[in-house]
């Protein structure tokens, strides 16, 4: 069976994005600071990045991670990443509004799924070619898959940042979720904790 993982950067106080997200500030106020370890890796960060990016055969993400807005699609919008997104694999975007597949440079094709998280995960697993599926985010999408018990490994990248408010990881996740730490790697930019979930 396809292994389902999630890599997500959070603040020390548990936020995966800052407050007041917008087109000009998609990660919210202060949210970009969560990813500085990824942009300027130090110490063991590069090994963590290499493992993260070599594993997935497909991704699942929420609509807000792909585009601003919640209504009908602006078909000129092709994501936050330019002509060549960093995924290089099929990406299944959860949405309530149908849209045809969007093929981008570098092997990324976005597929828009209107019939829920279970369907998105099943389609991603079928497309992954025997590799794993990565739940890419944002926080509400990760929380939905955690609530459903569908993530097998959670890789938390805890940045030494306080955001105070924003999109919180683990909102609505039952306190019966078991997290077994199987690896901890420290660097100046983040503490990387790999949990096996049960």
Write the CATH number for 34: 3.40.430.10
Instruction: Report which DSSP code applies to 40.
Output: S
* Structural domain contains residue 2: no
51 assigned to some structural domain? yes
Encode pLDDT of 97-148 as tens digits: 999 999 999 999 999 999 999 999 999 999 999 999 999 999 999 999 999 9
Please give the C-alpha separations between residue 197 and each of 19, 145, 172, in angstroms, as whole numbers.
28, 12, 16
Q: Note the pLDDT of residue 1.
A: 61
Q: Which pTM was predicted?
A: 0.95
Q: Does 150 map to a domain?
A: yes
Grade residue 71 by pLDDT with cuts at 50, 70 and 90. Answer: confident
The whole-number average pLDDT for the span 43-49 is 93
Helix pair angle (117-127, 139-147), 10° resolution: 90
According to DSSP, residue 106 is labeled: G
Average pLDDT over residues 158-167: 97
Look at residue 15 and tell me whether its pLDDT is greater than 90. yes
Q: How confident is the model at residue 2 (pLDDT cuts 50, 70, 90)?
A: confident
Q: Is residue 5 part of a domain?
A: no
What's the domain count of the chain?
A: 1
Residue 105, domain member (yes or no): yes
Residue 74 belongs to some domain of the structure: no
Residue 44 covered by a domain: yes
Q: What's the whole-number mean pLDDT along residues 37-41?
A: 93
Mean pLDDT of the chain: 95
Does residue 76 fall inside a structural domain?
A: no
**DSSP for 12-32, written as a single string:** TTSEEE-SS--SS-TT-TTGG
Spatial CB neighbours of 107, under 8 Å, sequence gap ≥ 6: 87, 88, 89
Mean pLDDT of 172-176: 95
Instruction: Give the domain range for residue 131.
Output: 12-67+85-197
pLDDT above 80 for 160: yes
Bridge-based pairing of strands 90-94 and 56-62 is parallel
Identify the pLDDT of residue 69: 80
């Amino acid at each position: 069976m396809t292994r389902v993982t999630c890599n997500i950067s959070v603040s020390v106080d548990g936020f995966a994005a800052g407050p007041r997200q917008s087109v000009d500030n998609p990660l919210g106020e202060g949210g970009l600071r969560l990813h500085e370890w990824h942009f300027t890796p130090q110490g063991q960060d590069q090994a963590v990045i290499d493992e993260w990016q070599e594993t997935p055969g497909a991704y699942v993400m929420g609509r807000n991670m792909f585009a601003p807005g919640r209504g009908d699609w602006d078909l000129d919008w092709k994501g936050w990443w330019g002509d060549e997104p960093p995924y290089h694999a099929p990406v299944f975007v959860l949405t309530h509004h149908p849209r045809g597949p969007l093929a981008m440079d570098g092997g990324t094709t976005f597929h828009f799924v209107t019939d829920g998280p279970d369907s998105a995960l099943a389609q991603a697993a079928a497309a992954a070619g025997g590799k794993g599926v990565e739940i890419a985010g944002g926080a509400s999408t990760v929380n939905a898959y955690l609530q459903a018990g569908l993530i097998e490994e959670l890789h938390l990248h805890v940045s030494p940042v306080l955001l105070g408010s924003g999109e919180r990881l683990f909102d609505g996740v039952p306190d019966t979720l078991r997290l077994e730490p199987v690896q901890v790697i420290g660097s100046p930019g983040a503490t990387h904790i790999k949990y096996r979930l049960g």
